[in-house]
Structure 1
């Protein structure tokens, strides 16, 4: 099942992709796709309505928003692909590297992304995002993590590397600039995704392919990451977890590879759709 939200920022309508890729309106079932919907059996209600054929087609729309509304937090895993760690000169981590991104960085998959003022090293990162569907607190094993995952989406973990690595303090200041987390277009349920460790990830800048990886090369797999995080924090329904990026980021390519206003970034993950962002200037 593919869940999505369409409409202007702040006024998105909840929808689902129905038979024949028709976009169907979920307004009769919920006001939004958020943590309460995911934790309260919303996905099952949508399945029932789809089986009954009772959902109307959505009204025409011009914009797709992030597929989950108002995530409480965005938790990220750094250096989770061996080739990415190598290109950045970092040692392979013994445990997942964890950092946070401001939740208001989340925007629609095709929304404009703003290069921050004074930025000289704005970077891109295609990632598999996990959306939490049930409270995860001290999970007993990675296997238990599967039961708290609502679905998966594409994430572009946009980063400003000078802010992140050269300005002191923690990574968050280079990760939390406005618009720095395009998400979507869809939230795809686990039954449709299949094995999360068998997904190709790709990213292009101005038509040039920069990243071409596969989640099978993650150092810490999706279920391990969710289990691990639950030992240190409570993951709530609607939270987003970005699980790391493969090699090919601008940080490993040189100064000419960083993003500038006017650049176009395209991102895709197998089975999860495609994003397209034009870079603007803050």
Structure 2
């Protein structure tokens, strides 16, 4: 089942997709065009993987890491489907990153990889934009690269784990202004989902609604103001947003 969180009628609703429309938690049926999509999950801790696809590491002149390169993101960076992502004035290089987002379903501590899927509630799509200009050191990414407001569109759907047969064999892709730019598969992750849950839970507690962004394959290119970016993952749908400049935010 595809779940969403949306704003309409002056309220925030949980919703499910039905025949291309949305059924709100109060039973009303609305068109998708008549709502504002929010992040489908009220996120807890957001973990982001760097260089988790060897081909992407190679295209930006790095080697795949020998252990997970993980950094944290704040929920302030999340926006919903059809949202606007800000490209700051003077930036030279801003890359999209189509990523499978894994949502934790219950408290997890010292989880063994063979039990990892028991702690997942479902999956969604994230576009984890990176502003490369601010990168001090790829192995120590600073806050300005990944944590700026509006920098991480997510959604539109949260899909129950039971509806995804094999999350480690899903096609990922990105279109920029209607032209395909990125294609890959989750099967090419350096560190797979069970490994990541075992690794993270070995030294910290994972909680319900924590999110793991699992990295992106090769094919990232620079995007500029006015670009429409659509990232998609097999079985999860497509997430669209538009790049805008500082003036759209009046500050």
What TM-score does the superposition give when structure 2 sets the normalisation length?
A: 0.90
**Which of residues 111, 130, 133 in structure 2 aligns to 1:159?**
130
Aligned to 1:35: none
**Which of residues 50, 58, 69 in structure 2 aligns to 1:86?**
58
Q: CA deviation at 1:22?
A: 4.5
Counterpart CA distance in 1 for 2:54 and 2:140 is: 25
Aligned to 2:249: none
Judged with a 3 Å threshold, the aligned counterparts in structure 2 of structure 1 residues 248 and 165 are, in CA distance, closer, same or farther, namely farther
Pair 1:171-2:170 in alignment: no
Counterpart mapping for 1:22-171 below 5 A:
22-27=21-26, 56-60=27-31, 61-69=34-42, 71-139=43-111, 141-165=112-136, 170-171=141-142
Deviation string for 1:234-282 (max 9, x for gaps)? Answer: 22111111000000112xxxxxxx2211111111100101111111112
Pair 1:244-2:215 in alignment: yes
**Which of residues 240, 243, 246 in structure 2 aligns to 1:276?**
240
Q: CA deviation at 1:232?
A: 2.8
Secondary structure, in 3 states, of the residue corresponding to 1:276?
strand
**Which of residues 149, 153, 158 in structure 2 aligns to 1:187?**
158
Counterpart CA distance in 2 for 1:58 and 1:78 is: 40
Q: Does structure 1 retain, via aligned residues, the 8 Å contact 2:69–2:139?
A: no
Q: How many residues align?
A: 243
Gaps of 5+ in 1: 28-55, 251-257
Deviation string for 1:91-130 (max 9, x for gaps)? Answer: 2211111011222111102101111243221110000001
Counterpart CA distance in 1 for 2:166 and 2:213 is: 17
Counterpart CA distance in 1 for 2:94 and 2:58 is: 20
Give the helix-richer structure, 1 or 2: 1
Secondary structure, in 3 states, of the residue corresponding to 2:144?
helix
Deviation string for 1:184-227 (max 9, x for gaps)? Answer: 01000111011111100000112221110000111111121122
Aligned to 1:15: 15
Secondary structure, in 3 states, of the residue corresponding to 2:29?
coil
Pair 1:203-2:174 in alignment: yes
What TM-score does the superposition give when structure 1 sets the normalisation length?
A: 0.81
